[in-house]
Structure 1
Amino acid sequence: MNITMIGSGYVGLVSGACFADFGHVVTCVDSDASKIERLLRGEIPIYEPGLDDLVASNVRQKRLFFTTDLAPAVKGADAVFIAVGTPSRRGDGHADLSYVFAAAETIGKALDGYTVIVDKSTVPVGTGDEVERIIREANPNADFSVVSNPEFLREGAAIEDFKRPDRVVLGVEDERSKAVMAEIYRPLSLNAPPLVFVNRRTSELIKYAANAFLATKITFINEVADLCEKVGANVQDVSRGIGLDGRIGSKFLHAGPGYGGSCFPKDTLALLKTGQDYSAPLRIVETVVAVNDARKRAMARKVIAALDGSVRGKKIALLGLAFKPNTDDMRDAPSLAIVASLVGDGAKVHAYDPEATSQARPLMPEVVFHEDAYAPIEGADALVIVTEWDAFRALDLEKVKSLLKTPIIVDLRNIYGVDEVRKHGITYVSVGRA
């Protein structure tokens, strides 16, 4: 089938490349000419493992194309996916839908023949209705359907998630669009993921509810971790003990500095706003958001406490800046709040991240960035592990100790065993463990 993907950011590029790999012909459209120029040169504007090879392969096989010219791409498409950003709107936390609505209007003017318009962006309940209205207003004679198809891609594992999903959620309102979507996802039949067909508003809500629930699990185990430290328990053992219960599951029960990234922060805020708009307040999610915000600042206080209550004039080495490993995404990364707090208290912060430095540099002008994991540690008063990159899991601890001015490691991701570090004569502070 011929597919047009509007938006060549994280969701659009990964989805477009994967659809092309299924055998569809995909045209990725973006209004950012510099981004399209980079893609045409074979440069990938985001870091996602395996995406460069996937894009290059499908470009060679003439199944994947890039352009800034939307109208011709829409005219020849069986389905047009809207995969533009929906950031939190300043002031009220609601999703900013201006990019979605602008795309809908442009699509409407270019439609020629029956086309399925698919909202891949994360949008509040009722957005599909408004997209349909905008397109109808722009082109009263257009023959089209609007479908909701939310993405559930984990950064760092997005290609695997797309090709081997737990489920594909499809919000449809008619049989024609249902048949088109079933055909688009037919190549997944060998992996047999369920195609969950629901109405459009249900599909829109599923995405927000899923992310809010996962954010709740993260926040819950972080609060349990604080209790573990007080009572002398081990949060990793608690996580395993409850995660083996099939009703709970082990995923998203890892204590740390709080959630960040492109989805959970903005989606929980948008869900709260939707609840308020419909007079159905979501008190649990409200608490999750508040606790998570406080969590990041609390991690800075943990570092300060490890240095006898003051970091003024001290050098702090940070390993990891991205909100999670295998991505360069700095959106709402815990490192932002941690660095701001440490610098505000007079610390001199030196940092290294395998992929996120270019994204972090303009966000952290006070930080000194380095090119390898050991460089920021030299002469530091403490080492803080913020992101659990694999490259940090097997540091030479003897070398680390020799480089540190004072042998202190604050591990906010619990990637080391307590005894393993302490046998090297290093003071070791972790999360939720004595």
Structure 2
Amino acid sequence: MFARRIAVIGSGYVGLTTGACLASLGHRVVCADIDSAKVERLREGVVDILEPGLADLVVENRAAGRLEFVVGAREAVGGGDGDPVEVVFLCVPTPMGVGGAADLAAVRAVAEEVRHLLPSGCVVVNKSTVPVGTAEATRRLLNRRDVAVVSNPEFLREGSAVQDFLHPDRIVVGSDAQDAAERVAALYSKLGAPTVLTDAASAELVKYAANCFLAMKLSYVNALAELCDVLGADVGDVTEGMGHDRRIGQAFLRPGPGWGGSCLPKDTQALVQVAAAAGIDVPLVSASIETNERQQRLMLDKIRAAVGGSLAGRRLGLLGLTFKAGTDDLRDSPALAVARLLRGEGAELTAYDPGCPHAVPGMTDAVTVVDEPLLVAKGADALVVLTEWPEFRSLDWAAVAGALTSRVVVDTRNLLDSDVLRRAGISWVGVGRR
């Protein structure tokens, strides 16, 4: 494998993981960000996001001279005195815009900023999740016949992004310029992963198709859990029986308070918008979104019933705020969505999350954030598990029982061992469980 000179524009979850992991594969990488304070911290080996193994990769590759950080895309693409960059990865935010469509303002801004700085023969790679047609739009915006545009979607899960990058299920690369696609695919040759080489539009659609399928699977299991609650069945046994079917598998078959995070909510909405623009209805995806919103209200109903029918003035302790365990990401967190519903009915909320030890203005305003799990139980009318942090299983449940006013736990993740809680004198309420 030949080492390439690579620029990565954007140093968030995707960009920083991409840059550090490509450097670990032997490439020379410069990562850019518009936040000068963040760049300075990264130069010192300080990684602000909670992502196992990422900080170690940054420090190791900085020391080896394969990874550097600069302020601004122009500096990354055209500011070096050494060899010109050969590949430029765009890893900028594409948040949900008006009507649910992806907001591509950052992609367009970077393309406009660097188009005259790109060396001849360079390849621009859209790594961010973007709608079908973005590669073509980027190519037109660059207006450079000597620069190819490639779609190379990421499939990184927060909390295991480094592992996912270095041990991928597949690598998808799409371009109407076959040689450019092969050059990008070659960057990953050390990984030995199955590689799908296709056109740009197909590569762009793969990411949406995969995430929307996972969202549908999660919404389906949440609907099954509701049915189990009504019929007296056990969703754990039902999903175990389903999961042994190789056509279905065990993954994404655990009910919860709904799905969230930085990808599934915006990607499902974006696919609905993309399909609508093409004159196509995707009712399965639309129903999954509706089911997800309904799931949060069902959790509200379950918690309300557990405390006697009214939430007004009730003190509730919340275990978990992040959208999933292993991350500090609060974006589109179902835990926060449920918290806001609880607060809207007058509940007083205290919360603890290992990944979020302090209040985050604008995000955690509905709750009082504390830094010890026992503090959420003190004087609480119920404890509610909203994020599946493994350490919640090993809490001192006898001490928790002593702190609670009413000894009841609503476990929206079916995380805890009901027998352990029962021995501590605590009533356990799960989702779809007998």
Tell me which interval the TM-score lies in, with the shorter structure as reference length: over 0.9
When structure 1 is superposed on structure 2, of 424-433 and 149-158 the one drifting more is 424-433
Between the aligned partners of 1:74 and 1:180, the Cα distance in structure 2 is 18
Q: Does 1:33 align with 2:36?
A: yes
Counterpart of 1:335?
A: 335
Q: Does 1:145 align with 2:148?
A: yes
Q: Does 1:127 align with 2:134?
A: yes
Counterpart of 1:271?
A: 271
Q: Does 1:93 align with 2:128?
A: no
Displacement of 1:378: 1.2
Task: Name the amino acid aligned to 2:339.
Answer: V
The alpha-carbon distance between structure 1 residues 359 and 241, as it changes in their structure 2 partners (threshold 3 A), is farther
How high is the TM-score relative to the length of structure 1?
A: 0.96
Mapping for residues 175-214 of structure 1, pairs under 5 Å: 175-189=178-192, 193-214=193-214
Displacement of 1:358: 4.3
Displacement of 1:361: 4.4
Q: Does 1:364 align with 2:364?
A: yes
Between the aligned partners of 2:106 and 2:358, the Cα distance in structure 1 is 26
SS in 2 for 1:177: helix
Task: Name the amino acid aligned to 2:54.
Answer: L
Counterpart of 1:323?
A: 323
Conserved? CA contact 1:328–1:359, under 8 Å: no
Between the aligned partners of 2:182 and 2:343, the Cα distance in structure 1 is 56
Task: Name the amino acid aligned to 1:17.
Answer: A
Displacement of 1:341: 1.3
Between the aligned partners of 2:221 and 2:365, the Cα distance in structure 1 is 32
Displacement of 1:35: 1.9
Displacement of 1:292: 0.5
Identify which of 118, 143, 158 aligns with 1:111.
118
SS in 2 for 1:18: helix
Mapping for residues 188-267 of structure 1, pairs under 5 Å: 188-189=191-192, 193-267=193-267
1:256-279 residue CA offsets vs partner (Å, 9 max, x unmatched): 111000000000000000010000
Counterpart of 1:283?
A: 283
Between the aligned partners of 2:116 and 2:356, the Cα distance in structure 1 is 39
Conserved? CA contact 1:219–1:258, under 8 Å: yes
Displacement of 1:71: 2.7
1:279-322 residue CA offsets vs partner (Å, 9 max, x unmatched): 01101000001110121122122111100111221210001100
Counterpart of 1:78?
A: 86
Task: Name the amino acid aligned to 2:110.
Answer: A
Q: Does 1:102 align with 2:109?
A: yes
Mapping for residues 387-398 of structure 1, pairs under 5 Å: 387-398=387-398
Task: Name the amino acid aligned to 2:167.
Answer: R
Counterpart of 1:45?
A: 48
Task: Name the amino acid aligned to 2:100.
Answer: G
Displacement of 1:400: 1.3
Between the aligned partners of 1:343 and 1:325, the Cα distance in structure 2 is 23
Q: Does 1:13 align with 2:16?
A: yes
SS in 2 for 1:362: coil
Between the aligned partners of 1:69 and 1:129, the Cα distance in structure 2 is 24
Between the aligned partners of 2:234 and 2:361, the Cα distance in structure 1 is 36
The alpha-carbon distance between structure 1 residues 359 and 251, as it changes in their structure 2 partners (threshold 3 A), is farther
Between the aligned partners of 2:359 and 2:313, the Cα distance in structure 1 is 26
Between the aligned partners of 1:408 and 1:14, the Cα distance in structure 2 is 41
Displacement of 1:423: 3.0
Task: Name the amino acid aligned to 1:247.
Answer: R
Q: Does 1:23 align with 2:26?
A: yes
Conserved? CA contact 1:48–1:327, under 8 Å: yes
Between the aligned partners of 1:30 and 1:349, the Cα distance in structure 2 is 36
Counterpart of 1:155?
A: 158
Task: Name the amino acid aligned to 1:15.
Answer: T
SS in 2 for 1:260: coil
Task: Name the amino acid aligned to 1:113.
Answer: S
How high is the TM-score relative to the length of structure 2?
A: 0.96
SS in 2 for 1:67: strand
Runs of 5+ consecutive residues of structure 1 not aligned to the other structure: none
Displacement of 1:128: 0.5
When structure 1 is superposed on structure 2, of 93-102 and 362-371 the one drifting more is 362-371
Displacement of 1:38: 2.1
Counterpart of 2:81?
A: none
SS in 2 for 1:261: coil
Conserved? CA contact 2:257–2:338, under 8 Å: no
Task: Name the amino acid aligned to 1:71.
Answer: R
* Sequence identity (%): 44
Mapping for residues 294-313 of structure 1, pairs under 5 Å: 294-313=294-313
The alpha-carbon distance between structure 1 residues 358 and 65, as it changes in their structure 2 partners (threshold 3 A), is farther
Conserved? CA contact 1:48–1:158, under 8 Å: yes
Q: Does 1:55 align with 2:58?
A: yes
Counterpart of 2:167?
A: 164
When structure 1 is superposed on structure 2, of 365-374 and 233-242 the one drifting more is 365-374
SS in 1 for 2:115: helix
